[in-house]
Structure 1
Amino acid sequence: MTGPAQQAREALGGRLREIRKDAALTARALAAMHGWPRSKMSKIELGHQTPTESDVVTWCRSCRANDQIPDLIASLRNLEAAYLEIKRMRLPVRQRQSIKWEAETKLMRWYEPWVIPGLLQTPAYVETLMGRVLDFYHGTRTDLEAMMAARLERQHVLYRGDHRFHFVIAEQALHTTVGDNDIMIGQLDRLLVAMSLPRVALGVIPADTEYLVPQSNFCMFDRRKVLVETISAELTITQPREIVLYEKTFHTLTEQAVIGAAARALISAELEKRLG
């Protein structure tokens, strides 16, 4: 059965095969250089066997591709952990893992196109949003209370240490109704309060902004990792070349967002509309 981990293993093997071919080495020749069985070469390149870090380093050095080592090692380390099934990622233990990551991060950069970022959500917003997610994936809300507690505990990082937070949201996140009007009124008011926090920068991308870059929600932890949520999995991005792309994307989105009084005006306009 082909799953995300197997696909990632095949992609890694394909990159190693390309490196070998670019160096004009046959699989037999590379194997002979290091006393590897010929079958090992084919299994790695086809994604049937996971190479060790030592294999990757030796492979790249033999092919004069030392510059590829950091990315390939990151891919290898992330091979089994990069794709976390959505059913597990929503558990309280996953929320508590986020507490650790956030505590270790100096600069967190977070983009959301549809909903309010988790660290800025009110308890009522959290309860409704997580309840909907649990209904969709599990059909039960058994873990809701523990998940809520962990999510709200995560928010303490906004007031501790020397962390900095840069949130960029699409204007649609202001309009997406989570729960009911009363919940949204409390949530929009919470955003206005959060904007005054000294460690928080919040930008809103107006709805009529030109499309410039591919978009999905993502959260950057310094330059160490990026988390991206899809329908079926949470991706943990650690390859340096990919992190550079997310930095480029966040920079572009930041330039498109309005901040300060202009952002406050968009939030206040939606709040006033809901207040009637």
Structure 2
Amino acid sequence: MAASSSSSVQAARQALADRLRELCRDAGLEGKQLAALCGWHPSKVSRISTAKTTPSADDIQTWCRACGREDQTADLVASLRAVEGMWVQWHRMERTGLRRAQESVLPLYERTTRFRAYSPNFVPGLVQTFGYTEAVLRAVQRRRVAVDDVADAVAVRMDRQRVLDDGHRRFAFLMEESVLSNGLGDADTQAEQLDHLMTVGALPNVSVGVIPARVGRSRMPVEGFWIYDTAQVNVELVSGYLTLTQPSEVKAYADAFAMLADMAVYGAKARALIRAAMDSLR
């Protein structure tokens, strides 16, 4: 697994290492003895037990067998898969195309009742038009994906927007003013998207905030992120997709969202900025 600076990922890796080390201790084995039983160099046992190296599924099976605890293999491999899922590089997530990546988040959207999203670059996916989504995903596909299944991926994202119709769910979208004029797609695509923002922003369960571009702002833009209830944060980075579940990290992003929200304008002021962007297209 690629290394990540996230404490969520590191904590999960450490927890897995701790469980493996406990199996070794409970079996009455020293590290060198375990290494001999596994047919490994002792340094490998040391790296795995201190979370410096993430074991493979085969490593876990061999470790459990050496400790006489093969009954723990399935559970520990499941923990490994959870760790691997916290940090996924784009080339792994999108190796078969963009549709699968879009489909993978559907269960998360279906179980979430409170959505918070901050975007410094694009209109958030749940409030994108068909044309804007097509432009976004086409740009992604050209940059890093060999398989061209953009049409299918767009259809999945459009279908996902049905959650907006559930009045029991709440949505808060924040975006930088520069998003309104980022030039994605042609002028008609951008104008349609801006008009749609005003329509969606009028829904009773949806809040659309725009952070004005101004000198002397109190907080600089950060990476784009989504908060799902109070359980999970997803962050899209240049190299991959990060899932955060540590309460302290979820809270850090919730606090960042609250500070950014205080800088945003809403209602008539937000609509004025959107209209100004629309006028600039003409």
Query: What are structure 2's unaligned runs of at least 5 residues?
Result: 33-44, 56-78
Shift of 1:134: 0.3
Identity of aligned residues (%): 31
Give the counterpart of 2:105 among 98, 107, 110: 98
Given the two structures, how large is their TM-score scaled by the length of structure 1?
0.76
Does structure 2 conserve the Cα–Cα contact (< 8 Å) formed by 1:204 and 1:259? yes
Q: Deviations over 1:207-266 (max 9, x none)?
A: 116142661000011011111011121101111111110011001001111111111111
- Per the TM alignment, residue 157 of structure 1 is displaced from its structure 2 partner at its CA by 0.7
Q: Secondary structure of 1:231's partner?
A: coil
The one-character-per-residue Cα deviations of 1:130-176 (angstroms, maximum 9, x if unpaired) are: 01100100255x21111011010011110025111000101011010
Match for residue 3 of structure 2? Answer: 4
CA distance in 2, matches of 1:9, 1:256: 28
Letter matched to residue 156 of structure 1: R
Deviation at 1:38, TM superposition (A): 3.7
1:187 to 185, 193, 196: 193
Which residue does 1:68 correspond to in 2?
Answer: none
Instruction: Spell out, residue by residue over 1:37-63, the C-alpha distance to the aligned partner (whole angstroms, 9 max, x if none).
Output: 34556632152355xxxxxxxxxxxxx
| Secondary structure at the counterpart of residue 81 of structure 1 | helix
Structural mapping, 1:136-147, within 5 Å: 136-140=143-147, 142-147=148-153
Match of 1:81 in 2: 85
Helix, strand or coil for the counterpart of 1:169?
Answer: strand
Q: TM-score, normalised by structure 2?
A: 0.75
2:53 is the counterpart of 1:48: yes
User: 1:124 & 1:225 partners in 2: Cα distance?
Assistant: 29
The answer to whether the Cα contact below 8 Å between 2:113 and 2:229 also exists between their aligned partners in 1 is: yes
In structure 1, the partner of 2:75 is: none
**Counterpart Cα distance in 2 of 1:202 and 1:13:** 35
1:8 and 1:205 mapped to 2: Cα distance? 29
- C-alpha displacement of 1:97: 2.4
Query: Is 1:13–1:45's contact at 8 Å kept on the other side of the alignment?
Result: no
Q: Deviations over 1:87-124 (max 9, x none)?
A: 32563122122222111111000000011000111111
Letter of the aligned partner of 1:80 in structure 2?
E
Structure 1's consecutive aligned runs of 4 or more residues displaced over 6 angstroms after TM superposition are 5-10, 13-16, 31-34
* 1:20-169 alignment, distance < 5 Å: 35=28, 37-38=30-31, 43-48=48-53, 78-87=82-91, 88-89=93-94, 91-140=98-147, 142-160=148-166, 162-169=168-175
Q: How many residues align?
A: 241
Structure 1 counterpart SS, 2:85: coil
> Is 1:10–1:46's contact at 8 Å kept on the other side of the alignment?
no
Match of 2:202 in 1: 196
CA distance in 2, matches of 1:36, 1:7: 32
Corresponding residue of 1:61: none
Deviation at 1:77, TM superposition (A): 7.2
What is the alpha-carbon root mean square deviation over aligned residues?
3.3
Quick one: distance in 1 between partners of 2:118 and 2:126?
A: 12
- Compared with structure 1, are the counterparts of its residues 176 and 5 closer, same or farther at alpha carbon in structure 2 (3 Å cutoff)? closer
In 2: Cα distance, 1:76 partner to 1:234 partner: 17
Give the secondary structure class of the aligned counterpart of 1:178.
coil
Answer whether contact 1:5 1:80 (CA < 8 A) is retained. Answer: no
Residue equivalent to 2:69: none
Tell me the distance in 1 between the aligned counterparts of 2:259 and 2:207. Answer: 16
